[in-house]
Amino acid sequence: MTRQTTLRTFLSCEHRYLLNPAASCDSDLELFTFLGILMGVAIRTRKPLDLHLAPLVWKQLVAVPLVPEDIEEVDLLFMQSLRGIRDIHESGVDEHTFAEIIPIESFETQSADGRFVPTCPGGHNIHLTFMNRTEYVESALQYRLHEVDHQVAAIREGMGWIIPVPLLSLLTAEKLEQMVCGSKEVSIEMLKKVVRYREVEPTDPLVTWLWSTLESFSREERVLFMRFVSGRSRLPTTASDMSQRFQIVKVDREPNSLPTAQTCFFQLRLPSYTGPDILADRLRYAINNCRSIDLDNYMLTRNTAEDDGDDEEEF
């Protein structure tokens, strides 16, 4: 499985993702099945995935039939085009001028991945006319409503290896997304509920400064902080679902040095900073510039640099 193949499995849609209808060969469907396995594991272990799927995908996964409004949410231009063809007579167009206005010649439409495909079997050979435009609109809409049925079935099959899939029909699309992906917001209050202090007291000014800094962070900064200390971007929806305690450790290092983290232990290690501004500055620098997790990438880069005779190291 290559990164290129995996990325072709999805199509971006306003920072969300749609399933790719063109990814339909056996190897592609195996990837969708594997995705389903990962989603099932996320539910079973309560370890959220940072998975930004479009709302209609979650709706399909809980076996709720799609409606035209679902397609409109991800492809407004497509639905506007269909309505324009259906209601074109209101603009004074008739059977004699229809072909001059509409560039489509047969029962073909644009799929979610941008390909032009037949809307029904033999659609290439069905000529689009003013008289059959309503049938065309309906067939094009039905194609888009069901174009990724095979991909959805593959994901559900993978989920079925881990969890009882029939129970999905008891969930809403929003609840399933929450179970797989956790909370969209990084809750500082939840972190406070599961924190464990080591070598430092809860009343220590260092701790007070840290919580104040985290509360002042933007949503994006909180996500970066989570990635820095845990390797993940999301928290479970409730504190009871947290499988690890968040650890704050005071370490004996230079007061101006950067904080470090051990993602395997959900641990943040802080030097004895002399003020809140220094703590905030060092923490922001660390979460924005740290490119490795538990030094894995650092060691790989270092070994490569040594082999090449290059002493440059990556933070």
The number of beta carbons lying within 10 Å of the beta carbon of residue 225 is: 23
Q: How far apart are CA 173 and CA 40, in angstroms?
A: 15
| Region for residue 108 given its phi and psi (left: phi exceeds 0; alpha: psi -120 to 50; beta: otherwise) | beta
Instruction: Look up 120 and say whether it is catalytic.
Output: no
Measured in degrees and rounded to the nearest 5, phi and psi for residue 182 equal 75, -160
Residue 247 three-state SS: strand
Q: For the chain, what's the residue count? A: 315
Query: How does strand 260-262 pair with strand 267-270?
Result: antiparallel
Q: How far is CA 259 from CA 94, 225, 285, in A?
A: 71, 11, 9
Which residue in 13, 120, 181, 264 is the catalytic one?
264
* Angle separating helix axes 26-45 and 173-181, nearest 10 degrees: 80
Strand-pairing partners, residue 64, are none
Measured in degrees and rounded to the nearest 5, phi and psi for residue 249 equal -120, 130
Catalytic positions, please? 264
